[in-house]
Structure 1
């Protein structure tokens, strides 16, 4: 039995589709089962509730061999520990209690860099990984840079202002990865019953690009000028809290972005295998995903 959390989320639903295509028995943990299609509900066992709830996660992991673990986004948590470690603790206990053999988790790059202990959300993700690893289950932490798909949040701004905004230096080349490639890597591991031990699996995407590089590609794909505008960390935090995010979670986001600009995502040497495992280029993603989103605004 493979248990999948966040089955209606951006990553989780793609993982679920791939695992179901392999005709494996699947159990999903979902807050609102109505968000699953009727076809999906007919093919999976549903445990309704939060996978941060001890009773829910205990039911979900009873008899399970493999778990796909992804934290839900909590913009309102009072601190990072509540959002990451405290949410994960019941699952870690259930993994150990029920003898779950393998866990595939969504995490972040940065371990063994000078910035790992002051990188906000990433620091909390790495602590979460340690908690899961301490259960004794075989664990594959998929360690990610920023997602290409995060740019979708700025689709309206791109269309109306011809610009997009981050805190990163404009010429600093960084890795990015498409969500669809993350889901492919995760599903492959979930469907493979042979791996053991505990490892990080860097999921880097095929290339490093600066924000100015990305602006040039977006301009070319959309057929209209689009520029990158760097903003201050304080401006980012004010935007986040203004949209309802708690001060602690906004500060965690800012700390993460600052650490990335200082080299957090650059502790892994890129190899040809990374492009094989995560082949979607930023240009291809813009053509397939960003351009339709901007046109639909």
Structure 2
């Protein structure tokens, strides 16, 4: 049996969709089962609740062979340790108690870089990986750069011709499509011949700068899109305005600063780490329909 957390989220939903055709017995942990499509609810065992709750994961991991693990963002957590490792500790105990064999988790690139210890959300995510690995379960952390799909948060401004971020306009870095991350997770969950702990990088096929991304968006959308760089202070003010707490705001600022200082450059792109979806393809298939809707 494979247990899928966040089955209504962007990555978890795609993982579950792939696994549904595999013939594996599936169980999901979900706060609101009504958010699952009816045809999905009929094909999976549903455990209602938060996967940060000890009683919930105790029920969910009974009889489980493998678990897809993703910590949902908690902008109001008092500390980043609470948001990542604190949320994960009940599950880590349950992995051992129920003899779960394999866990695949969504994490981040940056381990081994000089800035890994001061990269905010990424630092907390890497500590979560260490916590899971310490249980003795076979664990693979999906090491991801920024998601292409995050650009969808700016559909309104992109319609007006502006794409913004805090990155240096000419700094090239990897980006990955969430569908490729989900595909990598599903492959590992279905294989389960692997042992030990380690990372599986999902780096996309190319490095692009924000200016490169704006140019590609312009070409795909058939309208000019320019990149506008915002300061880290602007980012902090905007997130605070949305109601995020001080720990999460600082964690985001530290992560974005670390990215400009080389956080995403710690892993080499190889045929194994180069996921297939290009940014241009993603813009054609995902961004353009959203902008034109």
| C-alpha distance in structure 2 between counterparts of 1:34 and 1:22, whole Å | 23
Q: What corresponds to 1:166 in structure 2?
A: 165
Q: CA deviation at 1:273?
A: 2.8
Q: CA deviation at 1:55?
A: 0.1
| TM-score under structure 1 length normalisation | 0.97
* Structural RMSD (CA): 0.7
Give the secondary-structure state (helix, strand or coil) at the position aligned to 2:42.
helix
Give the secondary-structure state (helix, strand or coil) at the position aligned to 1:220.
helix
| TM-score under structure 2 length normalisation | 0.99
Counterparts of residues 234-273 of structure 1 (less than 5 Å): 234-273=233-272
Q: What corresponds to 1:94 in structure 2?
A: 94
Q: Could you list the runs of 5+ residues in structure 1 that have no partner in the other structure?
A: none
| C-alpha distance in structure 2 between counterparts of 1:122 and 1:294, whole Å | 30
| C-alpha distance in structure 1 between counterparts of 2:282 and 2:74, whole Å | 26
Q: Does 1:5 align with 2:28?
A: no
| C-alpha distance in structure 2 between counterparts of 1:272 and 1:163, whole Å | 33
Q: CA deviation at 1:116?
A: 0.6
Q: What corresponds to 1:117 in structure 2?
A: 117
Give the secondary-structure state (helix, strand or coil) at the position aligned to 1:280.
coil
Q: What corresponds to 1:216 in structure 2?
A: 215
Q: What corresponds to 1:79 in structure 2?
A: 79
Q: CA deviation at 1:79?
A: 1.6
Q: CA deviation at 1:11?
A: 0.3
Q: What corresponds to 1:138 in structure 2?
A: 138
| C-alpha distance in structure 2 between counterparts of 1:3 and 1:146, whole Å | 25
Give the secondary-structure state (helix, strand or coil) at the position aligned to 1:132.
helix
Which deviations, in whole Å up to 9, do the C-alpha atoms of 1:178-198 show, x marking residues without a partner? 000000000000001211111
Structure 1 outlier segments of 4+, above 3 Å: none
Q: Could you list the runs of 5+ residues in structure 2 that have no partner in the other structure?
A: none
| C-alpha distance in structure 2 between counterparts of 1:135 and 1:45, whole Å | 26
